[in-house]
Homo-oligomer: A and B are copies of this chain.
Amino acid sequence: MSDNNFHPPRRTLMGPGPSDVPARILEALGRPTIGHLDPAFVALMDEIKSLLQYAFQTESPLTMPISAPGSAGMEACFVNLVEPGDKVIVCQNGVFGGRMKENVERCGGTPVMVMDAWGSAVDPGKVEDALKAHPDARALAFVHAETSTGAQSDARTLVELAHKHDCLAIVDAVTSLGGTELRVDEWEIDAVYSGTQKCLSCVPGISPVSFSERAQHRIANRGHRVQSWFLDMNLVMAYWGGKTKRAYHHTAPVNAMYALHESLLMLKEEGLENAWARHYRNHLALRAGLEAMGLSFIVDEPHRLPQLNAVSIPAGADDAAVRGRLLEEHNLEIGAGLGDLAGKVWRIGLMGHASRPENITLCLGALDAVLSDMGAEINAGAALPAAEKVLAAG
């Protein structure tokens, strides 16, 4: 053995992801590697597909994990559904809507932007106006849960609008899957992608996706070849999808699939609705503490994501110094602001396994200690009792 081995510090992960990965999932991850065409692995793939269908609440057979992070899952949706010349209505209310725009452009499509303020939900009225103004648009794309701001949009209503105007609906559910209500079939979402490292509490690196029948029809009838070989669903399907023999496409990340399987089992054991309720319950306690301390949320209450709490940095607090001290003194990671919100907010995640009462106590206690010591303008000592009251009330 070398003394150069990497031994990560033990952190509590309350940023925008990765979230804490439970020991049970890490243990599954480290099991012996088998071949990606081993019958035992092929059986595991079937189980993962079925568990993902449960998590997404869909019966679509084109539901599977992409062997790369959420950004690649986003790209998989766009490269398969957007062709050169296609007009796509893209809603932007944070960082990830901007990334969608980039994707449309790189596919040779024309994005029509519907802009909302960072921290706001997507405005269905503006979306309807855009759909009416662009009757030739072929798809509507929006972020269900904006990780950069903590705002949640009304996916059901937006998808309805898209269909009313003959558009496919492409939805980013990276931060919502497993954390807040998401019903892919009932809401008739056409393409959805997520990530493993948020409310599934799995290791980062994999992106679950699902495509509706309508989307599959669009893919099957494309005029141009999909520009990415790696993400071409026609090929990926033959490996993950078929009822018949699996065609070799790429070598699946075998061990990451063990971990994903375990995380999806845990979600099923808890029950999807129970997981949503737990995220909401713990959010209420954290919120009580943060507000008692004097910090304010940047998102209006009806659109707040329980799993990602974005609050303004109080006067007298140095952003980087506070996060640095939380990490060094308390082994606690919270998230910085991203893009336009850099230096202005903190993003506190209560995602998946990290959404637990003891993490609320740790986070409020550590913030109170560091901010008080820095002389920041907060109500010192008020946070923990306020949170405790909510936790005790259950």
Contacts and interface: CB of A to CB of B under 8 A. Distances in A.
Interface in A22-41: 24, 26-36, 38-41
Contacts of A70: 250-251
Identical chains in the assembly: 2
Interface stretch (A4-12, A149-157, A164-172, A208-216): A4-12
Which of A5, A33, A225, A258 has most chain B Cβ within 10 Å? A33
B33 A20 contact: yes
Contact of A24 (B1, B24, B203): B1
Name the residue among A27, A203, A226, A333 with the largest chain B CB count within 10 angstroms: A203
Given A67-B68, A227-B227, A228-B75, A251 B24 contact: no
A253 B31 contact: no
A39 B47 CA distance: 37
Contacts of A8: 31-34, 40-41, 258
A12 to B, nearest CB: 10
Q: Residue among A18, A20, A248, A255 with the most chain B CB within 10 A? A: A255
A178 interface: no
Most chain-B CB neighbours within 10 Å: which of A21, A29, A30? A30
A386 interface: no
Given A35-B13, A47-B6, A226 B106 contact: yes
Contact of A205 (B28, B44, B225, B256): B256
B35 A69 contact: no
B5 A28 contact: yes
Interface string A69-88: 11110110000000000000
B33 A13 contact: yes
Contacts of A229: 71, 74-75, 99, 102-103, 106
A262 interface: yes
A30 B32 contact: no
Contact of A34 (B13, B32, B252, B265): B13
A256 B26 CA distance: 12
A44 B6 contact: yes
**Leading 7 A-B pairs by shortest Cβ distance:** A205-B253, A30-B30, A68-B68, A71-B250, A21-B33, A203-B255, A204-B251
20 contacts: A5-B28, A5-B265, A6-B258, A8-B34, A13-B33, A21-B255, A26-B31, A29-B30, A33-B197, A35-B333, A38-B333, A67-B72, A68-B68, A71-B230, A72-B250, A99-B229, A197-B251, A203-B254, A204-B251, A205-B255
